[in-house]
């Protein structure tokens, strides 16, 4: 698809608010993000041209729909929350969501009506259906459906799943998740597998990864390969390096590094479930040179630095809030030759680069990647070396 190709405007753009750049041609979106990265990061090094998508539509392989009841028209709704509100905007198909995932959610909504499954109301604690999450393996085609309810009792679950599989035989697993809490989180702590193995697998950069209902996995696998390949190129692995993967999640970057030349990989992540998945992913890929620990990355690397331990490459992929001064201080104290920073927020990246470049590091390469077309978000990979 050409970057200047005309894409039919989404009729829900103003109500939903999820696609802030809906009114721009794709090449205009890229120019907007390139300018933003240059403005924020240009003082630290040359910003390379942003890496775009060939087809910037329907890229989200993880789709979540909220359910509500429309009392005015007496109907069950499914869709997304309007920006800065708890009002559900009805959605049947979305410009950036996986088409098959949207079709499955519409099917579930129809079945819910016939099975008389009511939308859950947080205030009254009545009803059943809160959300549906659908994950599609981009390279494997496996599909996981997670039905999220406000109450544990799902009396018609066997017949419901049977009807769902009849309508959508390509679904590979169905999970019932219970979330009775008044929270912004979609998933609760309890899962019951209703069909299949309770997870799906997908392939990324030559590795196979297990994706459970609560697992973190990039929602745009096509661009994730571009992002991670860029990060591996910046790491410059030769087969002799100790590679520290901070904020490692389910181990995706670390395990890829383990197959791309790292002699030893150490991954640290605060989420214990994610660490369990990382260890499982290592076994699944027969990788023996990677170890994963549950803990705070800042505290972990501080203790390593104080113990005099050394690493050759530190890979940082923090949340949107960026890193912490404690972690950055420990990085500078350990002084590895190479730091690769993968960021989903140019603003906090600029703040952290200011710290690193005033404590002995030089930004050698800055590469923006368009992970989320039609939104304002932009990922960026930066290679830093000791000055």
Q: How many CB atoms lie within 10 A of CB 52?
A: 19
Q: Which two tokens stand for residue 343?
A: 């960021």
Strand partners, 176: 147, 192
The answer to whether 171 touches 108, Cβ cutoff 8 Å, is no
* CA 241 – CA 310 distance, rounded (Å): 10
Strand partners, 56: none
Reply yes or no on whether 344 is catalytic.
Answer: yes
> Nearest CA to 342 among 384, 304, 301?
384
The answer to whether 147 touches 120, Cβ cutoff 8 Å, is no
* CA 192 – CA 177 distance, rounded (Å): 6
Query: How is the beta sheet containing 75-81 ordered, strand by strand?
Result: 88-90, 75-81, 62-70, 129-136, 143-149, 173-178, 190-195
The answer to whether 190 touches 206, Cβ cutoff 8 Å, is no
Q: Give the burial class of 377: count Cβ atoms within 10 A of its Cβ; 0-12 exposed, 13-18 middle, 19 or more buried.
A: middle
Q: Give the burial class of 233: count Cβ atoms within 10 A of its Cβ; 0-12 exposed, 13-18 middle, 19 or more buried.
A: middle
* CA 137 – CA 80 distance, rounded (Å): 22
Helices 26-41, 346-357: crossing angle, 10 deg rounding = 30
Helices 272-284, 252-259: crossing angle, 10 deg rounding = 30
List helix spans (H) across the chain. 13-16, 26-41, 99-114, 157-167, 221-235, 252-259, 272-284, 297-306, 325-334, 346-357
Q: How many CB atoms lie within 10 A of CB 263?
A: 14
Task: Please count the residues of the chain.
Answer: 387
Question: Which position among 10, 61, 207, 344 bears the catalytic label?
Answer: 344
Positions marked catalytic: 344
């Amino acid at each position: 698809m050409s970057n200047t190709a005309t894409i039919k405007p989404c009729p829900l753009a103003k109500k939903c608010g999820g696609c802030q750049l809906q009114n721009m041609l794709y090449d205009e979106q890229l120019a907007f993000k390139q300018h933003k990265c240059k403005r924020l990061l240009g003082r630290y090094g040359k910003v390379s041209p942003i890496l775009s998508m060939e087809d910037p539509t329907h890229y989200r392989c993880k789709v979540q729909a909220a359910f509500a009841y429309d009392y005015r028209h007496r109907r069950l709704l499914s869709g997304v929350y309007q920006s800065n509100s708890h009002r559900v905007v009805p959605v049947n198909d979305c410009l950036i969501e996986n088409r098959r995932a949207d079709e499955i959610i519409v099917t579930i909504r129809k079945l819910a009506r016939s099975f008389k499954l009511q939308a859950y109301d947080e205030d009254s604690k009545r009803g059943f259906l809160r959300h549906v999450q659908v994950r599609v393996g981009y390279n494997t085609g496996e599909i996981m459906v997670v039905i999220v309810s406000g109450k544990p009792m799902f009396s018609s679950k066997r017949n419901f799943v049977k009807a769902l599989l009849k309508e959508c035989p390509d679904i590979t697993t169905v999970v019932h998740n219970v979330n009775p809490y008044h929270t912004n989180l979609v998933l609760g702590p309890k899962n019951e597998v209703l069909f299949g193995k309770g997870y799906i697998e997908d392939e990324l950069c030559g590795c196979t990864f297990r994706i459970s209902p609560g697992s973190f996995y990039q929602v745009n696998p096509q661009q994730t390969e571009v992002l991670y390949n860029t990060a591996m190129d910046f790491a410059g692995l030769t087969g002799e390096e100790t590679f520290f993967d901070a904020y490692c999640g389910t181990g995706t970057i670390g395990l890829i590094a383990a197959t791309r030349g790292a002699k030893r990989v150490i991954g640290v992540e605060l989420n214990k479930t994610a660490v369990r998945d990382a260890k499982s992913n290592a076994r699944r890929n027969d990788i023996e040179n990677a170890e994963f620990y549950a803990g705070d990355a800042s505290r972990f690397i501080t203790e390593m630095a104080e113990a005099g331990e050394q690493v050759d490459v530190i890979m940082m992929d923090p949340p949107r809030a960026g890193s912490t001064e404690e972690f950055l201080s420990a990085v500078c104290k350990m002084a590895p030759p190479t730091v690769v920073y993968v960021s989903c927020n140019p603003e906090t990246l600029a703040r952290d680069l200011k710290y690193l470049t005033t404590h002995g590091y030089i930004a050698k390469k800055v590469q923006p990647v368009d992970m989320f077309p039609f939104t304002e978000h932009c990922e960026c990979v930066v290679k830093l070396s000791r000055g």
